[in-house]
Structures are given as C-alpha cells and as structure tokens.
Amino acid sequence: MALAVLAGCATVSVVAAALAVALPEDGGPESGTPVLAAVHGVDLGVAVAVEPLRGDDEYRDVVTGNYTSVTAENTMKWEYVQPERGRFDWSGPDTVMDFAERGGLDVRGHTLLWHNQLPAWLEQGSFGPQELRQVMREHVGELVGRYEGRVTAWDVINEPFTDEGAELRENLWYGVLGEDYIAEALWVAHEADPEARLYINEFGIEGGGAKADALYALAEDLVDRGVPLHGIGFQSHFVHGQVPEDLASTMRRFTDLGLEVAVTELDVRVPEPVTDAELQAQAGEYRHVVESCLDVPGCVGVTVWGVGDGHSWIPEWFPGYTAATPFDEEYRPKPALEGIVEALSRRPTPPSSG
C-alpha cells in the first residue's frame, strides 16, 4: 500500500482510538482531545492559574487529560513578575513551567508589553526613552531568558490597538518610545530566546474590520522590515450567538504574510439564565472555531481561556454572563467539549504536496 494510504489508515485508526475513549463523566482525564489535536499537528491549550494548579487535583487532571498546552493566565504578567524594580518573583511562573514540563505540555508565554497589570513603580514612574528602554530590556531579558528554549511562543505585544479599532493604543510604551516600541520589543524578545515564536495578540480582529485592517498593516510593515514577528494571536473572547463565520478568512490574511496564527484566549460567554439549548448551540460555536483553525494551514492551535466556568474571568468582568468554557463549575464536560472533539475527529488534511 502506498505510504499515503498507510498513513491515512494509521491516522483514521488513531482518531478512532481516541474517540473510543468516552468523554469523561465528571471532567478529569481522557477526553481524547490531546491525541486528536496531535493527529492534526495543532495545540489545544488552556489558560491556567497558579493557586488551583498548586492545590486542586481535579483542576490539574482536567488540564493534563484534555489539553496539550498551557498559558499562564496572570502570573507571567509584569505586576507579578517584577512587582518592584529589580525584584523578580519567579514562584508563579516556575509553578506553571514545572507543571507543564512534568505533564509534557507546551507553554505559551503571556504577556510582555501590555497596558494592563503593570506594577505601580512602572505605571506611575516618569521614565525617559532611554531609561524605559533599559527597563524593558531588563524585564524581557530576565523573563524570556529564564525560560529560554522552554516556551513555544510569547505574546510579546498584547492589545496594541484601541478597543474601537484602527489607532494604536496610547499605552506607556507608545507614549515614551513611539510606535516603534513594537519592533523594539520584538527584537529584545528575539535576542532573549531566538527559538521562541513571537506574537502580537489582539481581540476584536476575528471577524475582520478596522482593527484587523490596522493590525494587518502593522504586521505587513514589520514582516517587510524583517522584524522577528512570527504570529498573530486571535484572542477570540466571543459572545454566544456572535461568533464570526469568517474567522478562517481573517486568519488567512495573516498566514498569507507568512505568519502563523493561533486562537489564544477562546471563550464564549452566555447570558444568564443559561439553557441546555444554548449550551448545545455553544458546542457548535466551539466546533466552528476549532474547524476554522484546522481549515487554515498556519493556524497552530486553539487555547481556551479558563479551566472550567468556575475559573473563568467572565462573571467578574461581564456580570450577567457565564458558562464560557468547555467545563462547568464542577469540572464536568459540557457540550462545548464535544464540539471540540467533533472538530478534531475529522480526517486530517494531508500536507500540501506543493
């Protein structure tokens, strides 16, 4: 039998084996998604928090049994890593890294330059360009350097555009260093870890529009200048019923630049009271997002933002909305997990012969 046919048979048998593993009754291990994701060569990730990683067996089992990658939801952000200038706290990041490496999970680093969750000494400091450059070099060098070769990708620049869209956000970095802070930060991160894939991570770009157009123009310029930008993160914080149909075509604009893309913070918030019908429809939305990634060569994975509804940021930040993740408050799998499994259960697309 031709190699391709053999490979095809092997693939189908691997998928069948994974599917033979029933979805877990009460959360926990073995939904089969890690095997299914590996068959497609993509990561299926989840954002994790330090405290439950340290103290909640069920939380850890959901992560290791259903995902192939983790993102530190908060602990690698500036306010936790360098709470005072020159004082670094590695306890949280090391907890995430140690957990991931013990479980054979990839790690997405999140995040280096952002306008939120900065420590007071930085946010209220009055730094001139040279000193702020030095501050940035110290922080990125220490954080990215500490985990050199162990972090697959870094969200180097997070949310560089305004919420409305086409203007660069007037954050600390832009105000002092100007627009080229983005290129500077990418170069500094690249020097600290030449192997890590370096991303700009944004929300509100998933269905196209002014923000996506502005980010495309920025990315095209950086690529043309040979700046080490490797990927675009599509955060994908969606409202139930408003998941963009054309996610894949928006992704393709960026992969056509030679960049990779990833869904980096997927959740689909549902208005309360949540009905079974809405949870079933949410399953289709999760399936659509994963299928969109699989449809786009260059989409490297999908990360869900939170290990269960009880650990989701949504209820605090969007009162009246909940049920945004594939597992409920008791870590029981929801129909959304079945949607992910259904998307990953299709025959993998053979690598393009060209």
Distance in Å, CB of 324 to ligand G3I, minimum: 11
Report the nearest approach of ligand G3I to the CB of residue 32 (Å).
27
Q: Which residue sits closest to ligand G3I, CB atoms considered?
A: 313
Residue closer to ligand G3I, measured from CB, 116 or 275? 116
DSSP structural state of residue 125: -
Residue closer to ligand G3I, measured from CB, 115 or 150: 115
328 binds ligand G3I per the rule CB under 6 A: no
Judged by CB under 6 A, the chain residues 251 through 270 that form the site for ligand G3I are: 265
Interface residue with ligand G3I, options 33, 235, 236, 292 (CB under 6 A): 235
330 three-state secondary structure: coil
Angle between helices 335-344 and 276-295 (to 10 degrees): 30
How many whole angstroms separate alpha carbon 109 and alpha carbon 196? 9
Site membership for ligand G3I, residue 73 (CB under 6 A)? yes
Long-range contacts at 132-136 (CB < 8 A, ≥ 24 apart): 132/172, 132/173, 132/176, 132/177, 133/177, 133/184, 135/85, 136/173, 136/181, 136/184, 136/185, 136/188
**Dist CA 10 CA 249 (whole Å):** 30
Task: Tell me which of 13, 116, 134, 242 binds ligand G3I, using CB under 6 A.
Answer: 116
Tell me the three state secondary structure of residue 15.
helix
| Residue 162 interacts with ligand G3I (CB under 6 A): yes or no | no
Would you mind telling me the total number of residues written for the chain in this entry? 354
The contacts found for 14-18 with CB under 8 angstroms, 24 or more apart, are 14/39, 15/39, 15/345, 15/347, 18/345
When asked if residue 242 is in the footprint of ligand G3I (CB under 6 A), the reply is no
- Please report how close the Cβ of residue 314 comes to ligand G3I at its closest, in angstroms: 9
Q: Is the dihedral of CA 137, 140, 143, 144 positive or negative?
A: negative
The answer to whether 285 and 31 have CB atoms below 8 angstroms apart is no
- Residues touching ligand G3I: how many (CB under 6 A)? 8
Check 265, 285, 338, 342 and give the catalytic one.
Answer: 265
Residues contacting 123, CB < 8 A, separation 6+: 172
| Helix H or strand E encompassing 158 | strand 153-158
Nearer to ligand G3I, 63 or 281 (CB): 63
Nearer to ligand G3I, 76 or 293 (CB): 76
**Closest separation in Å from C-beta 265 to ligand G3I:** 5
Identity of the residue, 77 or 252, whose beta carbon is nearer to ligand G3I in the bound complex? 77
- Measured from the CB atom, is 189 or 294 closer to ligand G3I? 189
Q: Does 313 bind ligand G3I (CB under 6 A)?
A: yes
Contact between 157 and 182 (Cβ < 8 Å): yes
Q: Catalytic one among 73, 79, 159, 342?
A: 159
* DSSP letter assigned to residue 84: B
338 binds ligand G3I (CB under 6 A): no
Shortest separation between residue 45's beta carbon and ligand G3I, angstroms: 14
Active site residue 159: yes
Distance, in Å, from the CA atom of 314 to the CA atom of 245, rounded to the nearest integer, reads 22
Instruction: Choose between 179 and 317: whose C-beta lies nearer to ligand G3I.
Output: 317
The answer to whether the Cα torsion of 39, 155, 179, 160 is positive or negative is: positive
Q: Please state whether beta strands 321-322 and 260-271 pair in parallel, antiparallel, or not at all (unpaired).
A: antiparallel
285 in active site: no
**Least distance between ligand G3I and beta carbon 110 (Å):** 6
Phi, psi of 71 (to 5 degrees): -125, 135
- Check residue 74 for interaction with ligand G3I (CB under 6 A): yes
**Given 13, 91, 117, 275, the residue binding ligand G3I (CB under 6 A):** 117
Active site residues: 159, 265
Which residues make up the interface to ligand G3I (CB under 6 A)?
73-74, 116-117, 158, 235, 265, 313
